[in-house]
Structure 1
Amino acid sequence: MTWMNLAVGIIGSEDDSRSLVFFGVLAIGIVGAFIAGVPASWNGACYGRNGSSHFSVAVAALIGGHSTVVLTGSFVGAWFLSAWLFPRAAKDQTGAQLTG
Protein backbone atom coordinates (compact mmCIF):
# COMPACT_ATOMS: atom_id res chain seq x y z
CA MET A 1 0.00 0.00 0.00
CA THR A 2 2.84 2.40 0.83
CA TRP A 3 4.71 1.85 -2.43
CA MET A 4 1.54 2.08 -4.46
CA ASN A 5 0.55 5.28 -2.70
CA LEU A 6 3.96 6.86 -3.22
CA ALA A 7 4.25 5.75 -6.86
CA VAL A 8 0.84 6.56 -8.31
CA GLY A 9 -1.42 7.59 -5.41
CA ILE A 10 -4.50 5.72 -4.29
CA ILE A 11 -6.77 8.76 -4.34
CA GLY A 12 -6.00 10.83 -7.40
CA SER A 13 -2.35 11.14 -8.44
CA GLU A 14 0.83 10.73 -6.41
CA ASP A 15 0.79 14.49 -5.79
CA ASP A 16 -2.72 14.45 -4.28
CA SER A 17 -2.41 15.12 -0.55
CA ARG A 18 -5.63 13.20 0.18
CA SER A 19 -3.73 9.95 -0.35
CA LEU A 20 -1.65 10.75 2.74
CA VAL A 21 -4.54 9.62 4.92
CA PHE A 22 -3.61 6.02 4.08
CA PHE A 23 -0.37 6.51 5.99
CA GLY A 24 -2.55 7.24 9.01
CA VAL A 25 -3.99 3.73 8.70
CA LEU A 26 -0.49 2.31 8.89
CA ALA A 27 0.37 4.57 11.83
CA ILE A 28 -2.63 3.19 13.73
CA GLY A 29 -1.27 -0.33 13.21
CA ILE A 30 2.25 0.56 14.28
CA VAL A 31 1.13 2.40 17.41
CA GLY A 32 -1.35 -0.37 18.22
CA ALA A 33 1.38 -3.02 17.95
CA PHE A 34 3.63 -1.11 20.34
CA ILE A 35 0.80 -0.56 22.82
CA ALA A 36 -0.22 -4.21 22.67
CA GLY A 37 3.34 -5.34 23.23
CA VAL A 38 2.90 -7.48 20.12
CA PRO A 39 1.39 -10.65 21.62
CA ALA A 40 -0.49 -12.51 18.92
CA SER A 41 -3.73 -12.54 20.91
CA TRP A 42 -3.87 -8.73 21.00
CA ASN A 43 -2.76 -8.17 17.43
CA GLY A 44 -6.19 -9.27 16.27
CA ALA A 45 -7.73 -6.20 17.88
CA CYS A 46 -5.06 -3.96 16.34
CA TYR A 47 -5.70 -5.37 12.87
CA GLY A 48 -9.44 -5.02 13.39
CA ARG A 49 -8.93 -1.33 14.13
CA ASN A 50 -6.79 -1.01 11.01
CA GLY A 51 -9.52 -2.63 8.94
CA SER A 52 -12.11 -0.27 10.37
CA SER A 53 -9.98 2.82 9.77
CA HIS A 54 -9.13 1.69 6.24
CA PHE A 55 -12.83 1.11 5.57
CA SER A 56 -13.58 4.63 6.85
CA VAL A 57 -10.97 6.10 4.51
CA ALA A 58 -12.47 4.16 1.60
CA VAL A 59 -15.97 5.44 2.38
CA ALA A 60 -14.67 9.02 2.66
CA ALA A 61 -12.93 8.67 -0.71
CA LEU A 62 -16.08 7.23 -2.27
CA ILE A 63 -18.15 10.12 -0.90
CA GLY A 64 -15.53 12.49 -2.32
CA GLY A 65 -16.05 11.02 -5.77
CA HIS A 66 -13.03 8.69 -5.96
CA SER A 67 -13.75 5.04 -6.63
CA THR A 68 -11.15 2.97 -4.80
CA VAL A 69 -13.58 0.23 -3.80
CA VAL A 70 -11.76 -2.78 -5.27
CA LEU A 71 -8.31 -1.67 -4.17
CA THR A 72 -9.21 -0.60 -0.66
CA GLY A 73 -11.63 -3.49 -0.34
CA SER A 74 -8.76 -5.93 -0.81
CA PHE A 75 -6.75 -4.17 1.89
CA VAL A 76 -9.73 -4.05 4.25
CA GLY A 77 -10.31 -7.74 3.65
CA ALA A 78 -6.67 -8.50 4.45
CA TRP A 79 -6.84 -6.48 7.70
CA PHE A 80 -10.01 -8.26 8.84
CA LEU A 81 -8.68 -11.66 7.83
CA SER A 82 -5.56 -10.99 9.92
CA ALA A 83 -7.74 -9.80 12.80
CA TRP A 84 -9.63 -13.08 12.64
CA LEU A 85 -6.56 -15.31 12.31
CA PHE A 86 -4.23 -13.83 14.95
CA PRO A 87 -6.30 -14.83 18.02
CA ARG A 88 -6.68 -18.33 16.59
CA ALA A 89 -2.92 -18.60 16.10
CA ALA A 90 -2.36 -17.44 19.68
CA LYS A 91 -4.84 -20.04 20.95
CA ASP A 92 -3.18 -22.80 18.90
CA GLN A 93 0.25 -21.72 20.15
CA THR A 94 -0.91 -21.73 23.78
CA GLY A 95 -2.47 -25.17 23.34
CA ALA A 96 0.75 -26.50 21.80
CA GLN A 97 2.82 -25.18 24.71
CA LEU A 98 0.50 -26.79 27.24
CA THR A 99 0.54 -30.20 25.56
CA GLY A 100 4.11 -30.27 24.31
Structure 2
Amino acid sequence: MLHEPAAASQFDAATPYKTRLGVWMFLFYLIFYAGFIALNILSPLAMEKIVFMNLNLAVVYGFGLIVVALIQALIYDAACNAKEKELFPADAKVEAK
Protein backbone atom coordinates (compact mmCIF):
# COMPACT_ATOMS: atom_id res chain seq x y z
CA MET A 1 0.00 0.00 0.00
CA LEU A 2 1.42 3.36 -1.01
CA HIS A 3 1.07 6.29 1.32
CA GLU A 4 0.90 9.39 -0.78
CA PRO A 5 -0.11 12.93 0.16
CA ALA A 6 -3.86 13.41 0.49
CA ALA A 7 -3.73 16.50 -1.71
CA ALA A 8 -1.47 17.30 -4.60
CA SER A 9 1.25 19.79 -3.69
CA GLN A 10 1.51 22.94 -5.68
CA PHE A 11 4.05 25.70 -5.94
CA ASP A 12 3.60 28.19 -3.11
CA ALA A 13 4.83 31.68 -3.97
CA ALA A 14 4.52 32.64 -0.29
CA THR A 15 7.20 30.15 0.78
CA PRO A 16 10.08 32.68 0.91
CA TYR A 17 7.94 35.02 3.03
CA LYS A 18 6.88 32.21 5.35
CA THR A 19 10.45 31.00 5.70
CA ARG A 20 11.83 34.46 6.47
CA LEU A 21 9.07 35.16 9.00
CA GLY A 22 9.51 31.76 10.64
CA VAL A 23 13.27 32.21 10.97
CA TRP A 24 12.91 35.68 12.53
CA MET A 25 10.28 34.44 14.96
CA PHE A 26 12.46 31.46 15.85
CA LEU A 27 15.46 33.73 16.49
CA PHE A 28 13.36 35.98 18.74
CA TYR A 29 12.12 32.97 20.72
CA LEU A 30 15.64 31.52 20.86
CA ILE A 31 16.93 34.71 22.48
CA PHE A 32 14.01 34.74 24.92
CA TYR A 33 14.61 31.08 25.82
CA ALA A 34 18.38 31.59 26.04
CA GLY A 35 17.69 34.28 28.63
CA PHE A 36 15.78 31.71 30.68
CA ILE A 37 18.62 29.20 30.43
CA ALA A 38 21.30 31.81 31.15
CA LEU A 39 19.41 33.02 34.20
CA ASN A 40 19.16 29.45 35.48
CA ILE A 41 22.86 28.83 34.94
CA LEU A 42 24.27 32.16 36.09
CA SER A 43 21.90 32.98 38.93
CA PRO A 44 19.80 29.99 39.97
CA LEU A 45 18.80 31.60 43.26
CA ALA A 46 17.18 34.47 41.37
CA MET A 47 14.64 32.00 40.01
CA GLU A 48 13.33 31.49 43.56
CA LYS A 49 12.39 35.14 43.97
CA ILE A 50 8.64 35.78 44.21
CA VAL A 51 7.70 38.18 41.42
CA PHE A 52 3.97 37.91 40.64
CA MET A 53 0.91 36.66 42.53
CA ASN A 54 3.03 34.63 44.95
CA LEU A 55 4.74 32.81 42.05
CA ASN A 56 8.49 32.65 41.67
CA LEU A 57 10.43 33.89 38.66
CA ALA A 58 10.95 30.37 37.28
CA VAL A 59 7.20 29.74 37.05
CA VAL A 60 6.40 33.19 35.67
CA TYR A 61 9.19 32.99 33.07
CA GLY A 62 8.11 29.45 32.14
CA PHE A 63 4.51 30.51 31.60
CA GLY A 64 5.84 33.52 29.69
CA LEU A 65 7.69 31.18 27.34
CA ILE A 66 4.49 29.23 26.71
CA VAL A 67 2.37 32.34 26.18
CA VAL A 68 4.93 33.91 23.83
CA ALA A 69 5.04 30.70 21.77
CA LEU A 70 1.25 30.67 21.45
CA ILE A 71 1.14 34.35 20.50
CA GLN A 72 3.87 33.81 17.92
CA ALA A 73 1.89 30.91 16.44
CA LEU A 74 -1.19 33.12 16.08
CA ILE A 75 0.85 35.94 14.53
CA TYR A 76 2.56 33.52 12.13
CA ASP A 77 -0.75 32.01 11.06
CA ALA A 78 -2.40 35.40 10.52
CA ALA A 79 0.59 36.81 8.63
CA CYS A 80 0.91 33.76 6.38
CA ASN A 81 -2.82 33.69 5.64
CA ALA A 82 -2.75 37.39 4.78
CA LYS A 83 0.24 36.88 2.47
CA GLU A 84 -1.46 33.95 0.73
CA LYS A 85 -4.62 35.99 0.20
CA GLU A 86 -2.49 38.82 -1.19
CA LEU A 87 -0.67 36.52 -3.61
CA PHE A 88 -3.58 34.21 -4.44
CA PRO A 89 -6.95 35.97 -4.54
CA ALA A 90 -9.87 33.62 -3.87
CA ASP A 91 -11.21 33.85 -7.44
CA ALA A 92 -7.85 32.84 -8.97
CA LYS A 93 -7.15 29.95 -6.61
CA VAL A 94 -6.67 26.65 -8.40
CA GLU A 95 -8.41 23.66 -6.86
CA ALA A 96 -6.40 20.47 -6.36
CA LYS A 97 -7.72 17.50 -8.31
Q: What TM-score range do you get, normalising by the shorter chain?
A: 0.3 to 0.5
**Relative contact order (alpha carbons < 8 A, sep ≥ 6): 1 or 2 greater?**
2
Q: Which has the larger radius of gyration?
A: 2
Higher strand share: 2
